[in-house]
Structures are given as C-alpha cells and as structure tokens.
Structure 1
Amino acid sequence: MLRGLEERLRLALEGTETGFWDWDVVTDHVEWSDNMGPLYGLPRGTQPSGIGDFLDRIVHPEDRDRIAGVIEQALREGTSYEFDLRVNHPEQGERWLHARASVLTNDEGATERVIGLLSDVTDRRRREDSRAFLDTISQRFAASMDPVQTLEEVAELAVPRLADWCAVQLAKSPDGDFEQVAVAHVDPEKVRWAWELQARYPPDPESPTGAPAVIRSGRPELYPELDRALLEAAALDEEQIRLVRELKMHSVMVVPLIARGRTLGAITFVWAESGRVYGARDLELAEELGRRAGLALDHARLFAREHRAAEILQRALLPGTLPDLPGYELAVRYVPSDARDHAGGDWYDAFRLPDGRIGIVIGDVGGRGLDAAATMGQLRNALRAYALKGAGPGAVLDDLHTLVNQSADEITFATVVYVVLDLASGACEVATAGHLPPFVTGQGYVDTPPCPPLGFGEVDGCSSNTFTLGVGQTLWLYTDGLVESRTASIDIGLDALAATATRVDDGALEAIAEHLIAALPPTHDDDIALLGLRRVGELGERVAQDP
C-alpha cells in the first residue's frame, strides 16, 4: 500500500513538473526527487551535498543572498517560506522556479527538517514581467509629447530587458527608406560607434530583410539565429558580416511601429554578448511594444501639430502693431510654455479710445490648444468693441461677463485686467476680472476691487480703481505664467516680480521685458504674456541701459 502511494505521488510530481526535497537540518543532508535536477538544468537524479552546495553551485548569484536570508529566517523562527529563483538552463535559457517549504520542529521546538516542493513558473513570471514592462512603457510614453524623445525612450527601455542592442528607425517613405533616430546599448562607447557605423554604411531602402522590409510590409521579422546565409541574403558585404561577427550579434527581431493602419517606422532588437535567443513569446512582446510606441509617436506628432497651430493662431490674433504713445515707452512679449501641453490662451492688447485715452489689456483664457486660442480671439475683439463705446473699465468687464454667460460656447474660465490711461496726466483707471494685480514701480501692486473671472456665472458688477503713473514709473501687466510655477507659490512669484522689476527699472524697457521673462519663472510651465508701459515725460525718452 505504502509503495503504491509513493508511486502515485511520484507520477503526480513528474506529470506536473514538480520536484520534492527533504533537508535534514541537523546533518545537512539534502535529498531531491529524481526530477529536481532537470528543473535546475542539471542531470536527472542530481543531489546537492548540502545547503551550502545548493546555494553556491545552483542558485543564481544575484539571488543567492536573498534566498539565504529567507532560509535563515525560517530556521530561526520555525516558519514556512516560499520564493522565486532564477536558473540559467543550458538548453532553455533563463527559467524561473518557485520553491514552497515547510519547517518541521521536534517536541522542544527546534528545527529538524525542511520539506518542500519546486515548480517551474517561467510562463507566469514572463507574463508578469511583460505586463510590468509594458505598463512602464505606457507611463513613460504618456509623459512625453516630443516625438524624438518618445522614440529614444523606446530604445532605452528595451535595453537590457529585451535586447543588448536596440535601434529605432523612423520611416521617411513607405518604400523602405528610413532615418535611424535612436540607438541604445549599456555601453555608451558602443552607442557612439554604432552611429559612426550607420554613417559608413547608409541603409539600403530596397533591402529584402530588416527595417526596410518591415517598413514596406508592416510585418515583423524574427531571426532566432543569424547564420552566414541569412547575412548574405540581407545583401551585407564581407566587411559588414565581419562587424556583425565581432559584435557577437546572433539573434534579431524587427517589429513595425504601427498607428491607425500606417507603418511609421521599425524597432530592431538584437541579442549579442548576453548569448540569449529570441523566440515567439519575445516577438509577441516586441510587437505589442511596437504598437504602443507607434500610437505614442502618432499621438505626439498630432499634439505637436496642434500645439504649433494653436501658437500660430494665437500669434495671428495678437495685435500686429501697437499705437505710438508720445511720452511713453511700450514693450510686449508673448512666450509659449516649455511644457508643450498648454498653448493658446494668453493675450495682450493696446488701442486708442474715441476720447484720446489708451486702453491696455492683459488676459488669460483657461484650457489649451486651438479652443483656447479661438476663445482668446473672441474675448479680445469683444473687449475692444465694448471699450470703443466709451464705457469705463468696470462697465466693459460687466459686458464681457454678460457675453460669456450667454454664450453658446462654454468658456469655463478666463481672467482679464483692463487699464484706461490718460496720456497727458498719467491718470489710470483699472478693473480686473479675477486677474493678478498690475505692478507699478515706485508704488507697488495696485489695489483692484474684487471681481470674479469670466465664466463664473452672474456677477453684481465690476468696480474700478484709479492710480497715476508718474514720470519715470513703469506699469507691468502680466499673466500668471510669469509668477506661478509648480515649484513655488504665487506669493513668492509676486514678490520676485516686484523686486526684479524695481531693481532693473533704470534699463531699456525692451531689455527689462526680456530679463523678466528669463529670470522670474523657475520653469516655463505655462504661457506668458507681458506688457510694460513706462511714462518718460514730454521731453522724450531718458537714457537707458540694459539690465
């Protein structure tokens, strides 16, 4: 009966590719089932001479300390344990095994034996690793809106997880012509050398294999082993074949970058000095990587085009010329953000009113892209129209509030500051709709009656305030991109603007505007519109120096 049970257990273990071990802790004698050896890539019936022999000879060096620590803790605490460990199988390459053990103690609680099971979990680990790898890829792609950076990250993330060498080729035309835009290897010197080699041997668009063929067909290629016949079929000459051999390139796969049914390029993966070989599972992972990279590249291109279009539209909607103001200097700047995820909402304006005074405006529309630029154009034109009726700043902003509240287009958020200037006296009247206060050198920030931003619903009415711009003083209007960032509060930014504008106020106004743009925001996370107006008096402009 006992022999029958043992035989059935042996068959069950063999059928499920599960090994069994029994370790006598006192004598350090380890006994394995016959099928344990093959799981580790060793001959059937292999038996280690003890736990030290097992750790030193069989366990992967990078896992050795971790596993020894787990075993020591289990012996000390008398608890069960389990872990995954790697083995370099001579025929199957890297494999993953899962060990699950129970600690047996005597009546005094001392550990006597450890028994356990060992099973191959390579498929599970590969699925888990692939999912984690692709999740990391997707997160990195989502954070990048630069097409070239997107492709460079593809190559960098693939090494050494999926290749010793990785190169990304961007299609220049559907006929196989391409530009290599990224190369990755753990050795930077080899990367430099690869670029030199690319210059010496430009790609042949008509090559029957490799990236040109994949770009033409949109189908992946897998070469588990590069032999001479294959290299000759790829139309490589003797010198190129020699270089492939010197670099130990022996296993290759090439997958297309595909988005919306179009092949945008290819990714080439190469195992070389690691000695690994590509198989069908590797190709599946590489193809999924190619699909995600293709979508990320396509998205980045579309976003870049929209970003450029929004910036072009915004600049077109800004005034091409500004009025000449006797006795005053006027400087304006618009700078798009570096983040590439926001464009189109900031604007400035200056225009003559029917009574001879000057209207000066800075505004900021929430949102991004073409919608924000189009909304900015509507608000700019509407504000000019209301101002030309002769109403004061408060009444003009009331009209803007009414327009936005009744608009079929949903303008969710916009801020505006509107100043009316009397050229002869320097007297100014100002009102804001949720915008940051104007700054005047020699006076400080101008008090403005509170009034909510446009798009916040009905308001009781916007009030205005007055101040006088004295000779030699400068009025600065700006959007929040100048004083606000992700790394500093807006109060710190406002203090920095006041200090910097005061310190460099003796310089030329155009140069000061450039200096404020360069010096103030820690990062250009948002667009910046800036308008400076200096009263120089009737005798003309004073002598100025750059800050």
Structure 2
Amino acid sequence: MSQARGTGYPAPWQAAPGNQRPARRSTRPRGDGPRGAPGTRRGGLGALWDVVQSARRRPRWHAEARAAMEGLSFLSDASLELGGSLEPYKIINLIVALARRRLGDGVMLWLRAPEGDVVDLAAVDHVDPEAAAFIRAVIATHPARLSADIPPGVVLRTGQPYWIQDVTGELRRGLFPDDDQYSKFHKLRWGPSITVPMPYGDRVIGALTVSRVPGGQAYTQVDQTLAEDLARRAALALANARMFLESQEAGRALQRSLLPAHPPALEGAEVAMEYRPGTAGTEVGGDFYDVIPLADGRVGLAIGDVMGRGLHAAAVMGQLRAALRAYALEEWPPADLLARLDTMVCSLPGLPLATCLYGIYEPARPGTPLAGSRDEQPGAAARDGRAARIVLAGAGHPAPLWVPPDSDPNYVELDPGLPLGVAAGTQYVETTVELPPGSSLVFFTDGLVESRRRPLVDGLDLLRLGVAGQLARRRTDSRRADLAAARRRPPARAAAPPGPRPAGGGGGVAPA
C-alpha cells in the first residue's frame, strides 16, 4: 500500500492494474468505483446523489447505488444523533461510534489545539482494544504536530483528504521513528485509512481518520464521501457544543460577578445563600439578593427578581441591585427605599418590571438597669431591652417564610405591594416581625415555588412542609444526641452518711 496526499505533495499512491487509478482530483481517488461515470462529480450529498442517478441509467451499478442510499440514510441518522447533545465530550464519543459503525474497524479523532503546533488525539477506537491502546501510547510519547508530514498535520494544514494504502518509508519515519513501534503497528492489524478534514467556516478544527484491518474491503469513493460528510457534520456539532459551553461559562462568571460571593460576618445572626438557575441552559437571569451591613449592627437584607431571562434581565438586575445598595447605605427605611427604586425602574428604557423584598434586621438590644434597683441583679429582666426584629417592605415579591424556634414555620403577613416599574409614585407599607432567639427567615424568589406543573399555592405549601420536616428531623436528632450523652454520663453517687472513726485515730476508708 502507498500514500495519497493532496495537490503539491509526492505521488499519491501506486494503482493496481485494472483496479485503481488516480481521479481527476488528486485527493479524490475512485478506488473500486466506476470509471468514466457521466456527469460532474460533486462533493457531499451531491456526489452520493450523482451515484444514485447514474445507477438508474446503468443497471450494473445497482450495488453501488444501494450503498449510496444506505449512506444517505446513515448521514441523516448521524445528523439527528449529533444534534441531540451539547456536551463536547459526549459528541466526540458519538463521532467515533458513528464512524466505527459505518466506515471502518478503527477510528481516530484529531483536534487542533487552541495554541501552538500540537494536534490533540481526542479519541481513538479499534476492534482490537490493544491496537487502540498502542496508538494512545505512541501519541502520548510523540504528539502529532501541525507542521509534520503525517495525515493529521497535512489535513489540518491543507483541508484536503489524505489516503494511505501503504506506509511508505517517508511516512513511516514520520509516524514511527522507533522500528519496534512500527513492527508492533503492523502486528496490530492497522490497514488502509482515510483522513478527512473537519471544516467549520474558513478553518479546519480537526481531522477524522477511519481505517480497516489488512485484507478487508478497500475504500471507495462513496466511503470517502461519507467520511467527508460525517466530518462536516461532526465539526458543526462540536463547534456548537463548544460555543454553548463557552456561553454557559461566561454566564456563570457574569452571574457570580453580579451577586455577593460570600455573606458578611454578622453579630448575633448567620446568613446562608444559594443561587441556582431555574431553567436548564439559562445561566444568566434577573434574580438577585444582597446582604448589606449597616450602622449599629443592623443589616439590610434584599432579594428580587427582574422579569425575563438572559443578558437583558441580568443587565437590569445589575442596575437595580447597585441602586438598592446605594439607597440602603444612605439609611433609607424599607418603604422609602422601595419607592425610590420604583422611580428608578420606571425611568429605564424598555419598561422593565421587577419584584423586590427589602428588610432591615436589628439585633436584640439589652436593657439598661436603673442604679440601685433590683434590675442590677444577675438574671433580672432588662427594662428597656427588646428582642431582635426585622422591618420588611415588599414590592410584589413573595413574603418570607418565618421559622420560629419551637413551632411550625409560617409565612409572614405583609402588604404585597405593586411590582417595581408598574407606576411611578407607588407607596409601600412596612411590617415589623419580632425574632426570638433561634428564629430563621427564608427569603426566596418565585422560581423556587412556581412551576408550570403546579400552582403557586401548592409550591408554597411544599416549601413550608419541607422546611417543617427539616426542622422536625433536626429537633429529633438533637433529642437523641442529648439522650445518648445522658446514658454515657456516669450516675451520680449518693453522699455517704457520717460514721465513727476507727479506733487509734489513724486514717482509714469510710464505709460507702
């Protein structure tokens, strides 16, 4: 067997008498196909259709016509399978599986590295697992290079197919500098191969190599056309998956930059927060939250949702959160802060709508006892003290879930208010909630409780019952831990009654 290269390289291959000869294009050998077929040969599906049309005029080509029709069906199924995923690694494995299914006994998928001269071997498969492992080991020690005169390098540089009918001396030195490696290569049944480009736009992003075991059926023009079409579809699917992955990463980075990374350390309170996209594939949205330390140990707590998805909602959300933080640091009460936010949202182009819930948490304040009174005694109640509390105001946002320390959770009753952006000059109402020690408040957006499969009321009930179940399990675990600790504690001994001292006045052991 000999090698076939694109135009501008040494002689393509040695044609067998009466069996093979160079095609009109040096990169398109006819193999075992017909000679002098009428009509112009075209690439892609056009070439397959030419074969079908020619077969209708010449009955002796029925076998090749059937192969061409099977190829059309194969490419149609391959397009559906490749279009069903947006995960690059899954698409790479699918490309290899499709090529093995129809085009050969061994498959290698090469991808151009983002930078440098290296060509990455993304995947390799063969009917003989030892042969696939051998190729992986060879490439690991001698990586393929874009500048090398070996199939992946030539195809990525020229964008032309590369046939190998036999490994010549020149190609052997490029592929296997070690004679032992070349000897093992032949023993592992790697035979004729075709390497075709994977073009995307004006760039070749990879190459696909298919091969058959020695003595197997020779590759034909239909095989090459199928391989080229499969490689084109594979390049498109892989490029789309890469762009989708990059957009997801960019969305995550943007969302992280718009939301606080870590809650601040607070005195007398703990804050935990979590953000998850409500829709698969939508990494950027209008949901936001913020924790703003204020003077005297107070904390501003905010959560909101700009209606819509994507970059536009995220852009409005970024402006809204920045304005909210600025108003909060100016110490505006919750109702006045929402009124100012409403004016700001009404001034934005595009008439955006948003919901928001803002509250100011005030820690517990100890009382100051009067001098000389019983309030100075330890344990006495403080006369001017009060428990922790939060002052809330809402603008069309779901009310928070209040979790008391010793009873079932329930939603805070507050005036819902109109969403931001509905009408300028809207007035909002404040609600004060006392928070005994051990209380919790759960702020959330509607995406947590609302779904097309269930109404909002059912979602709110599920959240309340879920939090109640978690609280009940925590209390049960705490009681079990207390009982286990009590069982491990040794029993207290009863005090021994006083007894007479032993005679002689010496030391001794009193009876238990």
Scaled by the length of structure 2, what TM-score is found? 0.62
Pick one of 365, 370, 392 that aligns with 1:430: 392
| Residue correspondence of structure 1 range 362-511 to structure 2 within 5 A | 362-365=303-306, 370-387=311-328, 392-394=333-335, 396-409=337-350, 411=352, 414-424=354-364, 425-433=387-395, 435-442=397-404, 443-450=409-416, 463-479=429-445, 490=459, 492=462, 495-500=465-470, 503-504=473-474
Residue 397 of structure 1 and its aligned partner are, at CA, apart by 3.8
Same amino acid, percent of matched pairs:
33
State the distance in 1 between where 2:476 and 2:325 align: 32
Residue 340 of structure 1 and its aligned partner are, at CA, apart by 5.4
State yes or no: 1:132 paired with 2:52: no
| Residue correspondence of structure 1 range 255-274 to structure 2 within 5 A | 255-272=196-213
- The answer (yes or no) to whether the contact 2:106–2:212 under 8 Å persists in 1 is yes
1:209 is matched with which residue?
Answer: 150
1:343 is matched with which residue?
Answer: 284
2:125 is matched with which residue?
Answer: 184
- With over 3 angstroms needed to count, the CA separation of the structure-2 counterparts of 1:209 and 1:373, relative to structure 1, is same
Residue 415 of structure 1 and its aligned partner are, at CA, apart by 4.3
- With over 3 angstroms needed to count, the CA separation of the structure-2 counterparts of 1:395 and 1:490, relative to structure 1, is same
- With over 3 angstroms needed to count, the CA separation of the structure-2 counterparts of 1:165 and 1:339, relative to structure 1, is farther
Pick one of 178, 194, 198 that aligns with 1:253: 194
- With over 3 angstroms needed to count, the CA separation of the structure-2 counterparts of 1:200 and 1:476, relative to structure 1, is same
Residue 380 of structure 1 and its aligned partner are, at CA, apart by 0.4
Residue 435 of structure 1 and its aligned partner are, at CA, apart by 4.2
Per-residue displacement from partner, 1:449-503 (whole Å, max 9, x unpaired)?
4456657788976555442221111222244676789999845455334433564
2:105 is matched with which residue?
Answer: 164
State the distance in 1 between where 2:453 and 2:325 align: 36
- The answer (yes or no) to whether the contact 2:255–2:283 under 8 Å persists in 1 is no
- The answer (yes or no) to whether the contact 1:249–1:272 under 8 Å persists in 2 is yes
State the distance in 2 between where 1:329 and 1:432 align: 22
Return 378-387 or 491-500, whichever deviates more: 491-500
Per-residue displacement from partner, 1:363-409 (whole Å, max 9, x unpaired)?
34465665444332211012234445665545544544454344215
State the distance in 1 between where 2:189 and 2:196 align: 21
- Opposite residue 444 of structure 1, the aligned amino acid is N
Residue 182 of structure 1 and its aligned partner are, at CA, apart by 1.9
State the distance in 2 between where 1:375 and 1:483 align: 23
State the distance in 1 between where 2:115 and 2:296 align: 63
**Secondary structure of the structure 2 residue equivalent to 1:328:** coil
2:68 is matched with which residue?
Answer: 123
Pick one of 257, 267, 273 that aligns with 1:326: 267
State the distance in 2 between where 1:226 and 1:487 align: 62
Gaps of 5+ in 1: 1-91, 97-119, 508-547
Residue 266 of structure 1 and its aligned partner are, at CA, apart by 1.9
- The answer (yes or no) to whether the contact 1:347–1:376 under 8 Å persists in 2 is yes
- With over 3 angstroms needed to count, the CA separation of the structure-2 counterparts of 1:286 and 1:464, relative to structure 1, is farther
State the distance in 2 between where 1:226 and 1:395 align: 82
State the distance in 2 between where 1:311 and 1:382 align: 22
- With over 3 angstroms needed to count, the CA separation of the structure-2 counterparts of 1:359 and 1:203, relative to structure 1, is same
State the distance in 1 between where 2:215 and 2:446 align: 53
- Opposite residue 429 of structure 1, the aligned amino acid is V
Residue 219 of structure 1 and its aligned partner are, at CA, apart by 2.5
State the distance in 2 between where 1:154 and 1:454 align: 50
State the distance in 2 between where 1:355 and 1:216 align: 68
| Residue correspondence of structure 1 range 74-93 to structure 2 within 5 A | none
Which has the larger Rg? 2
State the distance in 2 between where 1:274 and 1:452 align: 78
State the distance in 2 between where 1:93 and 1:457 align: 76
- With over 3 angstroms needed to count, the CA separation of the structure-2 counterparts of 1:197 and 1:324, relative to structure 1, is closer
Pairwise CA RMSD: 4.3
Q: Which has the larger share of strand?
A: 1
Residue 127 of structure 1 and its aligned partner are, at CA, apart by 1.8
Gaps of 5+ in 2: 1-59, 365-386, 478-512
Q: What is the total number of aligned residue pairs between the two structures? A: 388
State the distance in 2 between where 1:175 and 1:321 align: 38
State the distance in 2 between where 1:94 and 1:186 align: 30
- Opposite residue 216 of structure 2, the aligned amino acid is G
